[in-house]
Amino acid sequence: MLTEKIMKHAMQQYINGFNSKDSKLLTSLFSDTATIEDPVGGENIVKGKEAITMFYGRAVEMVDRLELAAPIRGSYGNYAAMAFNIFMTSGGKNIQIGVIDVMTFDDTGKITEMKAYHGPGDMIEG
Amino acid sequence: MLTEKIMKHAMQQYINGFNSKDSKLLTSLFSDTATIEDPVGGENIVKGKEAITMFYGRAVEMVDRLELAAPIRGSYGNYAAMAFNIFMTSGGKNIQIGVIDVMTFDDTGKITEMKAYHGPGDMIEG
C-alpha cells in the first residue's frame, strides 16, 4: 500500500540521486509511462522511460547539487511536494534556482507525474 | 497581462491576509468560481465565493500565523507555488503544519484553483 512515508522516501531519493549524480537511481523512481513537466508552463513534456532516462542523464551533468528548502510535504492522497534549490554553474557563473516539485505516485510507489514549478524570476546569480 | 510578479504578489497577500486575520483580503484574491482542495486528497472541495468566504472566515480564527519556508516560486504558465508553515494552537497545544500550496490564476490575476499539499506526517506538536 502506498504511504506518505514511501512517497517522502522516494522524494528524498530524488534529491540524493542528483547529489550523487546517479541518473539510474533517478530514473528508477519513475513508472514506465511517467510524465515530467519541467518547468510547468514550458513547451516540453517528457514522457516515458526512454525520454526520462535521457532527461536525467543530461540533468545530473548540469546540476551541481540540490538542497531541500523545507521538509518534504505529503498529502491525503497519492501526492507529495517539496521545495528545494538547484545549484549549478553556467558560463562560469554560479546560478541558484528555486523550485517546487509536485509528484504523483502509483500504488507501487513509482512516480507517474512530476511537475516542477519555477519561473524566470526564480533564478538568481551568485 | 498575468505576470509572475502579479502571481507572487497575490501569494504574499495570502500570507499577509492570514497574519492580519483579514478574511476579506483572502477571499478577494479568488475568482467567483474558484476551487480549494485543502488538503489535497481530502474529502472536501470548497467551491465558489460563498463557500470560500466561509472557509477563510473560519481559517483565520483557527490559525495563529503563517510563515514562508522559502521564497514563492513562479512558473512559465499561470501557476505559482509556495512552501510555508502554519502555526496554530489546538486543545492547549502548539501545532505546526508544513504545507505547499499550488495556485492557478486567471488572466485578471485572481486565483481559480488552490491545492494545499500536507498530510498527517506534516503536523508536529510543540
Residue B79 to residue A118, Cβ atoms within 8 A: no
Q: Does B95 touch chain A (CB under 8 A)?
A: no
Chain A residue whose CA is closest to B67 = A70
Predicted pLDDT at A9: 98
For A76, residues 6+ apart whose C-beta sits below 8 A from its C-beta are: B39, B40, B41, B42, B119, B120
8 Å CB contact of A100 and B118: no
- Could you tell me if A98 lies within 8 Å of chain B, comparing CB atoms? yes
Closest chain A C-alpha to B26 CA, distance in angstroms:
23
Contact A119 B76 (CB under 8 A): yes
Distance from the A6 Cα atom to the nearest Cα atom in chain B, whole angstroms: 12
Query: What pLDDT does residue A90 have?
Result: 86
Span B18-38, pLDDT tens digits: 999 999 999 999 999 999 999
pLDDT of residue B97: 98
Predicted confidence band at A43 (pLDDT cuts at 50, 70, 90)? confident
Asked whether the beta carbons of B100 and A102 are under 8 A apart, the reply is yes
Over residues A4-24, the pLDDT tens digits come to 999 999 999 999 999 999 999
3-state class (DSSP) for residue B57: helix
Domain residue spans of chain B? 4-125
Q: pTM of the predicted model, to two decimals? A: 0.97
CATH architecture type of domain A4-125: Roll (3.10)
pLDDT value, residue B126: 75
The residue ranges of chain B whose pLDDT is under 70 are none
Residues of B annotated as catalytic (active site), given as ranges:
14, 38
ipTM for the assembly:
0.96
Distance from CA of B2 to the nearest CA of A (A): 13
- The pLDDT of residue A112 is 98
Strand stretches in B18-105, DSSP E: 30-37, 45-47, 63-68, 79-90, 93-105
Q: Specify whether A56 is catalytic.
A: no
pLDDT at A22: 98
Question: Chain A contact for B6, CB < 8 A?
Answer: no
Pairing outcome for strands A93-105 and B123-125: unpaired
Please give the grid coordinates belonging to residue A14: 530524488
Q: What is the pLDDT of residues A53-98, one digit of tens each?
A: 999 999 999 999 999 999 999 999 999 999 999 999 988 899 999 9
